[in-house]
Amino acid sequence: MSTPLHDALAKARAENRAALIGYLPVGYPSVDVSLEAMRAMVAGGADVVEVGVPYSDPVMDGPTIQAAAEPAVRAGVGPADVLRAVRAVADTGAAAVVMSYWNPIEHYGVARFAADLAAAGGSGAITPDLIPDEADEWLAASDAHDLDRVFLIAPSSTDARIVSTAKASRGFVYAAAVMGVTGAREAVGSAAAGLVGRYRRLAPGLPVCVGLGVSTGPQAAEVAGFADGVIVGSAFVRRLLDSPDAAGVAAVGTLAEQLAAGVRG
């Protein structure tokens, strides 16, 4: 099985670099502007776009992402908008992966979500609050539609948890290298490299991509030195919060260029 996500990570590896994975929630400041920002992200050099599903109780998201997701929830942004965003990203040639808490997927219908995601050109989904032990329905649905499924590991994960997560994952394993909520940080720190090292020792094979709060090209370069992919979310969202218009879209593209230069450095 080969998805656009698999191909994007393989292409980056063949170019001896990390992949750049960017996140934006659908619907902020509007659905149309969020789609334009995703396209700008790809034009700037992102290999993969995490299409964020706005959620009313985002317990793992920091204040920046919450500030964008809450208005989208109030505006009624829903599954049809998310699938439209997936198609928009896929049409650029980049890989589109949905990033969603489990409740919205379960509410939509797991089998239906998998079928519709595949039909829209999506590669799979990242489910941060779903652990493999409780994912039987998603494992079956993703198998049925040849979708990637990305589960998370953290510095607190036991060795056994890292092994079982890698076994259940497809596409890549998401290393959430800072404990707590997401958000841009001033420095990379050592936890990320340590977690990636543990993962590679225990479960070599599947790529490991790091979400850490990266916001600059030099930080991206540092993470790219030990990870297969660099995941950036809050820094992109901040560009739209600061300017929820065409200028914000342009700023997203400029940041993608800076980060892409970092991962290629």
CA-based nearest residue to 5, from 132, 106, 120, 95? 95
Establish whether 61 is a catalytic residue. yes
At 82 the pLDDT is 98
Q: At what angle do helices 136-144 and 110-119 cross, to 10 degrees?
A: 30
Residue 189's pLDDT band (cuts 50, 70, 90): low
Per-residue pLDDT of 1-35, as tens digits, reads 799 999 999 999 999 999 999 999 999 999 999 99
Q: Where are the domains of the chain?
A: 4-149+228-263
At 63 the pLDDT is 87
Per the prediction, the chain carries an average pLDDT of: 93
Instruction: Give yes or no for residue 74 having a pLDDT over 90.
Output: yes
Q: Which of 36, 47, 61, 116 is catalytic?
A: 61
Q: Which of 47, 50, 81, 148 is catalytic?
A: 50
- Torsion, Cα of 212, 213, 219, 221 (10° steps): 50
Q: In 243-260, which positions are buried (b, 16+ CB within 10 angstroms) versus exposed (e)?
A: ebeeebbbbbbebbbbbb
At 59 the pLDDT is 65
Per-residue pLDDT of 209-232, as tens digits, reads 999 889 999 999 999 999 999 999
At 132 the pLDDT is 97
Establish whether 47 is a catalytic residue. no
Report the predicted TM-score, pTM, of the whole model to 2 decimal places.
Answer: 0.95
Topology of the domain covering 4-149+228-263 = TIM Barrel (3.20.20)
